[in-house]
Amino acid sequence: MRISDRTILIATERGVITPDQAERLRALEVELAPGTSTDAALPPPEDDERLRFITGFGDIFVTIGLALFLGALGYFGDVLGAAGMWAVIGAASWLLAEFFTRVQRMALPSIVLLVVFCASVFMAASTWLGSTLPLIPSLASLGEDPLTLALAGLATLLAVTLHYWRFRVPITLAAGAAAVVAIVVGLVAAAAPGGIEAAINPVLMVCGLCVFALAMRFDISDPQRLTRRTDIAFWLHLLAAPLIVHPLIRGFIWPDGAPGEASAVPMLAVFAGLGVVAVLIDRRALLVSGLAYAGIAFASLIKVSGFAGSSTPLTLFILGAFILLLSALWHPLRRAVLAVLPARLARRLPHPNVLPTPDIASSS
């Protein structure tokens, strides 16, 4: 009787077997499969970034119901005032998570409920403090009331900590990291009133690098991506990517806030560097965050070449072709990039099984 991948995954999460033992079991299954030679290299995984977004169509059905219910609840809760409305939505999100997350263990509804809960706590706290701070504050709003951002971020961080203690949803750590970023940005804006425009990009970039380092810690601790740590790392990478990419380009390549022909080549160079890092760590989130800027750079170069009338379709064509080509060549590129690194370092990086095992390499 064959043991399913789901059973192996649950056994790994519960500590019945270690991730290394799980990977060796999979290798043994490949080795003993009919028509497979014992000295063949392990094939690459079917999907490097398997994520638990949807466990079935029931997830989508429940998510639609949550959107309708919470949206209507916000409409009726408006009689309590803005702070009261957000508090009601946050409390309802927690109570719904008690069933759909803790009992039913549904992936997509759990993610939606966590996001709504964090946003509700942030908005309730900022509104209660007497501010009309938006969920994503602008530089103008930061200059007006920076301490509100820090205090609302602190309230959100405390709420997120309680939520993770109760439900253990993988995206929760990324939500907590976002709350910490809000606290840091608010404190910096309060300490440097009038100078936040000059400080915001370096601050966001440092925060992004810290989040990226935390994501890599989870990734390296589970290189075969068999446990929940890979989901936690994914959401942290998804948060770190815009925090790194946008300040880097808008703060250093577009210092005046407007793209130009001279910035096209530096933007493409940044995008190429992000591509190397993305292939190296086997995460595509960095590239997704840089796609818009790469498109702007391509459009600028196309206009310079004299194709201004068709710059938009040509840009979309180039970006689409690039994504498809990169997807098709992802594993060969990883082999090439990992092959030039020291073997010990390469095998510590996430999902190194695009490379042959040491025993196979030595026997060949």
pLDDT digits (tens, 9 = 90+) for 191-232: 876 666 777 888 899 999 999 999 999 988 887 777 788 889
In this predicted model, which residue has the larger pLDDT, 143 or 228?
Answer: 228
Share of the chain above pLDDT 70, in %: 73
DSSP for 156-192 reads HHHHHHHHHHHH--TTHHHHHHHHHHHHHHHHHHHHS
Per-residue model confidence (pLDDT) at position 36: 42
Provide the whole-model pTM. Answer: 0.79
The chain-wide mean pLDDT, for the chain, equals 79
Alpha-carbon gap, residue 184 to 260, rounded angstroms: 31
* Top mean-pLDDT range of 114-123, 244-253, 261-270, 271-280: 114-123
- 354 pLDDT above the threshold of 90: no
Question: Taking residues 40-61, what's their average pLDDT?
Answer: 62
Q: Using pLDDT thresholds of 50, 70 and 90, give the confidence band for residue 153.
A: very high
* Inter-CA distances, 12 with 8, 113, 227, Å: 6, 26, 7
Residue 96: how many CB atoms within 10 A of its CB?
21
Nearest to 164 by CA among 101, 72, 233: 101
Count of alpha carbons within 13 angstroms of residue 315, beta-carbon side: 21
Interval 67-104: pLDDT, tens: 999 999 988 877 788 888 999 999 999 999 999 998 88
Alpha-carbon gap, residue 359 to 141, rounded angstroms: 59
Contact 149, 182 (CB under 8 A): yes
Per-residue model confidence (pLDDT) at position 25: 76
DSSP state of 356: P
Alpha-carbon gap, residue 114 to 171, rounded angstroms: 8
Tell me, rounded to whole angstroms, the distance of Cα 335 from its chain centroid: 24
Domain segments of the chain: what residues? 1-40
- 185 pLDDT above the threshold of 70: yes
CA quadruple 184, 189, 192, 195: dihedral, nearest 10: 120
Assign 280 to helix, strand or coil: helix
